[in-house]
Structure 1
Amino acid sequence: MVRIKGTIGDWPVDLTVELDDPEWARLGKQLQREVPDAPPPAPKVSQDEAVWLSAQALLRDGGPVSGPQLLAQLDALAGGNGAGKRLLVRLRHCAQVKVENGGDAPVYSWVNSAAV
C-alpha cells in the first residue's frame, strides 16, 4: 500500500494505492522496461568502509587539522574513542595523508593523490 498526501494547487490530495504482490512485481518489471538507461544500483559498502570513506572526506574537505582536533572529529564520526583512534592510525598510514610536526601536536593534511 502506498499513501500519497499533499496538494495539487489549492486542492488537497489523499490517495491510497493498494496492489497485491504479483501486481507490484508486474509494475516493477514494467518500470524497468520503461527506464532502460537507469544507472545500476550502487555497490553495497560495509559500515566500516563507509566510516573510513567519511574519515578521508573529513580530512580532505576540512583542510589541515591538529591531531587532537582530528581525533575529536573522528571519535564523533566513529561513535567512540577507540574507533576514533583506529581511524586516526589508519589515516596516519594512508598515502594521501601528510603528517607534519606542528609544535604541540601533529598536523594532518590531505595530499592530492596526483602529486604523490
Structure 2
Amino acid sequence: MLRIRGTVGDVPVDLTVELDDSDWGKLGSALGAQPQIVQAAAVAASAAKSLNQDEALWQVARDLLRKAGQLSGPDLLEQLEGLTGSAAAGKRLLVRLRHSSQVKVASGGDTPLYSWVE
C-alpha cells in the first residue's frame, strides 16, 4: 500500500493505492526493475498490511518529528490532526510522543517544544 499526502494548490490530497504482489510485479517489469527489488517491494507491502492502523500512524508520527527535528506543540498537533483526520486521534499521538523516550519536551515560552532525540 502506498499513501500519498500533500496538496495540489490549496486542495489537500490524501491518496491510498493498494497493490497486490502481481501488481508490484507488473510495475517492476514496466520499470525494468530487478526481480529482487520487486520481491522486496512485495514483502514490504505485505509487512505494511500486517501493521495495524494505529502502529502505522505511530511510525509516521515519529518519522514526522524525527525529520523536522523540533516542532512546537501547536504545529505538531496540527500536522498530527492532518495525518489522522481527527483531532482526538491527533491528540492521542501527541500524548504518545510526549511520553516516548525518543522525544524531549521543553518549555518554549507559551508552547511546549517537541524535539527528537536518538
TM-score (norm 1): 0.62
Matched, 1:88 2:90: no
Within 5 Å, which residues of 2 pair with 1:1-116?
A: 38-39=39-40, 41-42=43-44, 43=47, 44-112=50-118
Q: CA RMSD in A?
A: 2.0
- Shift of residue 36, structure 1, vs aligned partner: 7.9
Secondary structure of the structure 2 residue equivalent to 1:94:
coil
For this pair of structures, how many residues does the alignment match? 79
Secondary structure of the structure 2 residue equivalent to 1:41:
helix
2:3 alignment counterpart: none
- Structure 2 unaligned residues grouped into runs of 5+: 1-34
The amino acid that maps onto 1:82 is A
Q: Which consecutive segments of 4 or more residues in structure 1 shift more than 3 A? A: 35-40
Secondary structure of the structure 2 residue equivalent to 1:98:
strand
Task: Provide the rounded CA distance (Å) in 1 between the counterparts of 2:84 and 2:96.
Answer: 13
Query: What's the CA shift string for 1:31-83, capped at 9, x where partnerless?
Result: xxxx6894472322111111110000000001211101100000000111000
TM-score (norm 2): 0.61
- The farther-off stretch of 54-63 and 44-53 is 44-53
Task: Provide the rounded CA distance (Å) in 1 between the counterparts of 2:113 and 2:107.
Answer: 6
